[in-house]
Structure 1
Amino acid sequence: MLKWSAILLVVAVIAGIFGFFNLVAAAAGLAKILFFVFLVLFVVSLFTGRRGKSM
């Protein structure tokens, strides 16, 4: 999924160079949403991955 956010970032940069402002806004919006989704998933995985065996 992180690959998709990188692809959308590249699309946003290329669209900005060519001046397609609507496409830039859409790609940047999707990249922001994906960033926060991955941030939440990262924090959740930090907490769930540190559980060890209790004996």
Structure 2
Amino acid sequence: MLWTIAVVLIVLWALGFGIHVGGGLIHLLLVLALIAIVYNLITGRSAV
């Protein structure tokens, strides 16, 4: 579940570069996605 959220946030961030909307919000989405990925790697839980 956490990986899905992270992927969605990264895709939205990437789309933001093409559309040029959101400004700081786009970068906030990237930061949230990276935090989600790092948290999942550190905890090592299996998201089944």
Identify the TM-score tier after normalising by the shorter chain: 0.7 to 0.9
State the partner residue of 1:28.
30
Structure 1 stretches of 5 or more lacking a match?
46-55
Q: Which has the higher contact order (CA 8 A, sep 6+)?
A: 2
Give runs of ≥4 in structure 1 deviating > 2 Å. Answer: none
Q: Which has the larger radius of gyration?
A: 1
Provide TM-score, normalisation by structure 1. 0.66
Identical amino acids, percent of aligned pairs: 16
Shift of 1:29: 0.8
> How many pairs align?
43
Q: What RMSD over aligned residues (CA atoms) do the two structures have, in Å?
A: 1.2
State the partner residue of 1:49.
none
